[in-house]
């Protein structure tokens, strides 16, 4: 079919609009910690293998704002796609954070739980095989462009046996609701009245008193 001048013009406009998105998708992988740092930091939590979904919800609009995934298998890592979280003690490669001991998990929650945001944590015990598949998917995924955090998590989970029905949705609360339907899920909501500028945050510490201002409620707090 012969292309008209109008068709060519429209195609040019579409390509121009999509070009920045293509560049963003092909952007640099972000931080890439050396092998020695990653190896030294590797940590496996006691207890069964587990997959955890974190959902950050705006307390004012009640809309989902961000999603992250934590997996405990042969090691425990946090996949925080297109997120701002970082800490010098936790080596990072693209969107994967290593060395996630209990103090690091508490710090991660405290970083996101603010006066304007609550954090909903959903834990599901899985088999060692499921956990290793999830870990491999996370490490293979690469850096995620902005606004695709939840979509990337849905894509990863759908490749894990038992999680094939997870939606590939851009909406964090849609993924949260689907995760809630998994048998055996334990859900907790974390509230904190700390300022949005995170001026209260110091360093990761093993002292439980450092996170004493966080209120934890079993189940999905607020309006689900």
Q: In this predicted model, what pLDDT tens digit does every residue of 82-122 receive, in sequence order? A: 999 999 999 999 999 999 999 999 999 999 999 999 999 99
pLDDT at 193: 87
pLDDT at 221: 75
Closest by CA to 70, choosing from 120, 142, 123, is 123
Q: Are 98 and 75 in contact (CB under 8 A)?
A: yes
pLDDT at 72: 98
As a 3-state breakdown, the chain gives helix, strand, coil percent values, each rounded to 5, of: 35, 20, 45
The Cβ of residue 190 has, within 10 Å, a number of other Cβ atoms equal to: 22
pLDDT at 205: 57
| Position 43 in a domain | yes
Count of domains forming the chain: 1
| Position 16 in a domain | no
pLDDT at 191: 96
| Position 3 in a domain | no
pLDDT at 223: 58
pLDDT at 202: 64
| Position 205 in a domain | yes
**Residue 18 and residue 9: Cα distance in Å, rounded?**
14
| Position 65 in a domain | yes
pLDDT at 28: 46
| Position 141 in a domain | yes
Q: Which residue ranges of the chain lie beneath pLDDT 70?
A: 1-29, 200, 202-211, 223-224
pLDDT at 211: 67
**Residue 91 and residue 86: Cα distance in Å, rounded?**
9
Q: Which domain holds residue 33?
A: 29-218
- Tell me the C-alpha to C-alpha distance, in Å, between residue 13 and each of 9, 17, 18, 184, 211: 6, 6, 9, 50, 51
pLDDT at 23: 33
| Position 117 in a domain | yes
| Position 5 in a domain | no
């Amino acid at each position: 079919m012969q292309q008209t001048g109008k068709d060519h013009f429209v195609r040019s406009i579409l390509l121009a609009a999509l070009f920045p998105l293509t560049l963003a998708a092909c952007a640099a992988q972000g931080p890439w910690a050396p092998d020695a740092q990653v190896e030294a930091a590797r940590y496996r939590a006691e207890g069964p293998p587990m997959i955890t979904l974190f959902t950050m919800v705006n307390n004012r609009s009640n809309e989902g704002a961000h999603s992250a995934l934590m997996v405990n298998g042969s090691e425990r890592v946090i996949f925080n796609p297109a997120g701002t979280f970082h800490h010098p003690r936790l080596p990072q490669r693209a969107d994967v954070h290593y060395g996630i001991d209990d103090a690091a998990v508490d710090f991660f929650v405290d970083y996101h739980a603010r006066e304007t945001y609550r954090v909903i944590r959903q834990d599901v015990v899985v088999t060692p095989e499921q956990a290793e598949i999830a870990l491999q998917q996370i490490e293979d995924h690469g850096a995620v462009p902005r606004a695709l955090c939840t979509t990337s998590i849905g894509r990863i989970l759908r490749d894990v046996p038992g999680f094939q029905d997870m939606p590939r949705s851009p909406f964090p609360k849609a993924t949260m609701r689907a995760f809630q339907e998994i048998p055996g899920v334990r859900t907790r909501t974390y509230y904190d009245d700390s300022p949005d500028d995170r001026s209260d945050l110091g360093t990761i510490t093993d002292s439980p008193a450092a996170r004493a201002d966080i209120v934890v409620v079993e189940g999905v707090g607020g309006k689900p």
